[in-house]
Amino acid sequence: MKVDISPCVCKFYASVNARLCLFESVSLPILTYGCESMCLFGGDIKKLNVCWNNVFRKIFGMNVWESVK
């Protein structure tokens, strides 16, 4: 007997993608609200990047030294 799991895998990826899109559409604006009107320096931008990456690390159970990319 042969079983095709590809529909289950596709549905899984679709559900994860939907959650990530929702997360990005709700959380990213909160993090970047008003940034275009501020004078941000390299350190400030790095702090925002670290914050965003740490959330993805937490969601996917990654360690701090692992790249989010």
Q: Residue 38: what pLDDT?
A: 87
The number of distinct structural domains making up the chain is: 1
Asked if the structure places residue 10 within a domain, the reply is yes
Is residue 68 in a domain? no
Identify how many contiguous H helices and E strands the chain contains and give both numbers: 2, 0
pLDDT tens for residues 20-66? 898 889 988 998 898 888 888 889 999 999 998 898 888 888 898 88
Hey, what are 67's tokens? 């790249």
CB 66 within 8 A of CB 57: yes
Q: Which domain holds residue 48?
A: 6-60
Give a yes or no: residue 66 inside a domain. Answer: no
Cβ(57)–Cβ(63) below 8 Å: yes
Structural domain contains residue 42: yes
Cα–Cα distance for residue pair 7/11, rounded to 1 Å: 6
Which has more confidence, 17 or 69? Answer: 17
d(CA 58, CA 4): 32
Determine the pLDDT at residue 47.
92
Structure pTM? 0.68
**Does the residue 69 lie in any domain?**
no
